[in-house]
Amino acid sequence: MTATQVRTELITEALRLACRAPSLHNSQPWRWVLTDDSVELFADPERFVRGADATGREALISCGAVLHHFRTAMAAAGWDTAVTRFPTADDPLHLASVQFTAARSVTEEQRGRADAILLRHTDRLPFVAPPDPEALMHALSAVAENHAVRLDVLSEDVHEFLAEASHLTEALRRYDAEYHTELSWWTADFVSDDGIPRTSLVTATESDRVQIGRNFPVVARTERRAEILDDRAAVLVLSTLDESRESILRCGEALSALLLNATEAGLSSCTLTHITEMAQGREVVAALVGTGTLPHVIVRLGQAPALAETPPPTPRRPIEHVLRIERSRPC
């Protein structure tokens, strides 16, 4: 089938939803261009977090996540998507070109996954273990069709070694002024449409009960989930067979699929990359996985108490700041 022009309003709303995708420090390192017959995704180097992500690898993962979110939103709206990754050989920032054909139908599964975009949020508090093995398996199944990416569940007996690697990477960065300056910037009180708001941060005591996590500035507030003395989350690792840009982009797509499936299954999640940002930490993760693949992302999955308060949504940039419309004919 040939590509079809989709109404500007529908594309805009799908992109608004897609931009709820997770990104390093909520930096949202993407921009979109809407043409007559396609939507083009570009990385935005002005929004790279250089202190934590010197190579831009995590920005690429973030862009993979927003690409999958967009395809998910379009599927729920009744449109199939065809993606050409890295369509412009001499422009490494041009990550994908997306074209559309009308779908024959929309399934409840597609609608549910799109609904999960608004329900998903990063939860840095301790979890109880996933109570239902089927819920965890549903989350894992999201990556089955992405052959560029491997998903492993770490056994509980190696969690302590991962926790040690987490502490090691934080210790190695103790005197890294650029890293800490950026971290303070992205968590400052004045954040309005990007960064991590104070409502999404944890207290010192809450942080102490989660051994595998990035050290963010702590906040003062009433203690939450005091009944969960130790984090019992399942710990998953997303890896690729190589370091190609396409594999890393696809890793971000797999991350999006995993998080949305987990949300559908009633699980809470926290995405972590601080360990794999450092060579020493990445080597530890690779050894724990033991598959010869290259680890990129760690994900904690578990269950939050049923009556736990959900923090307000983290801010996102206005759609007009990330989308440029270049259509020669109205639609």
Residue 182 sits in the same domain as residue 281:
yes
pLDDT of residue 1: 41
Residue 106 sits in the same domain as residue 178:
no
* 296 is a domain residue: yes
* 186 is a domain residue: yes
Q: 3-state secondary structure string, the chain?
A: CCCCCCCHHHHHHHHHHHCCCCCHHHCCCEEEEECCCCEEEEECHHHCCCCCCCCCHHHHHHHHHHHHHHHHHHHHCCEEEEEEECCCCCCCCEEEEEEEEECCCCCHHHHHHHHHHHHCCECCCCCECCCCHHHHHHHHHHHCCCCCEEEEEECHHHHHHHHHHHHHHHHHCCCCHHHHHHHHHHCCCCCCCCCCCHHHCCCHHHHHCCCCCCCCCCCCCCCCCCCCCCCCCEEEEEEECCCCHHHHHHHHHHHHHHHHHHHHCCCEEEEECCCCCCHHHHHHHHHHHCCCCEEEEEEEEEECCCCCCCCCCCCCCCHHHHEEECCCCCC
Placement of tokens 């409840």 in the chain: 108
Residue 292 sits in the same domain as residue 168:
yes
* 126 is a domain residue: no
Any residues with CB less than 8 A from the CB of 274 and at least 6 apart, and which?
52, 166, 169, 170, 214, 281
Residue 286 sits in the same domain as residue 234:
yes
Placement of tokens 């009633």 in the chain: 266
Residues pairing with 96 in the sheet: 41, 85
Residue 159 sits in the same domain as residue 112:
no
Residue 155 sits in the same domain as residue 37:
no
* CATH code of the domain covering residue 284: 3.40.109.10
Phi, psi of 40 (to 5 degrees): -105, 135
Residue 113 sits in the same domain as residue 241:
no
pLDDT of residue 3: 61
Residue 111 sits in the same domain as residue 193:
no
Residue 212 sits in the same domain as residue 103:
no
Any residues with CB less than 8 A from the CB of 101 and at least 6 apart, and which?
1, 2, 3, 4, 79, 80, 82
Domain that holds residue 20: 8-118+315-325
* 283 is a domain residue: yes
Residue 60 sits in the same domain as residue 207:
no
pLDDT of residue 132: 79
Encoding tokens for residue 159?
């969690």
* 89 is a domain residue: yes
* 125 is a domain residue: no
Q: Give the count of beta carbons closer than 10 Å to the beta carbon of residue 298.
A: 24
Any residues with CB less than 8 A from the CB of 206 and at least 6 apart, and which?
124, 125, 126, 223, 224, 225
Residue 285 sits in the same domain as residue 178:
yes
* 204 is a domain residue: yes
- Tens-binned pLDDT, residue by residue, of the chain (331 aa): 456 789 999 999 999 999 999 999 999 999 999 999 999 999 999 999 999 999 999 999 999 999 999 999 999 999 999 999 999 999 999 999 999 999 999 999 999 999 999 999 999 999 999 987 787 887 888 887 778 899 999 999 999 999 999 999 999 999 999 999 999 999 988 768 999 998 899 999 999 999 999 999 999 988 999 999 999 999 999 999 999 999 999 999 999 999 999 999 999 999 999 999 999 999 999 999 998 999 999 999 999 988 778 888 899 999 999 999 998 877 7
* 307 is a domain residue: no
Report the number of distinct structural domains present in the chain. Answer: 2
pLDDT of residue 235: 96
Residue 144 sits in the same domain as residue 250:
yes
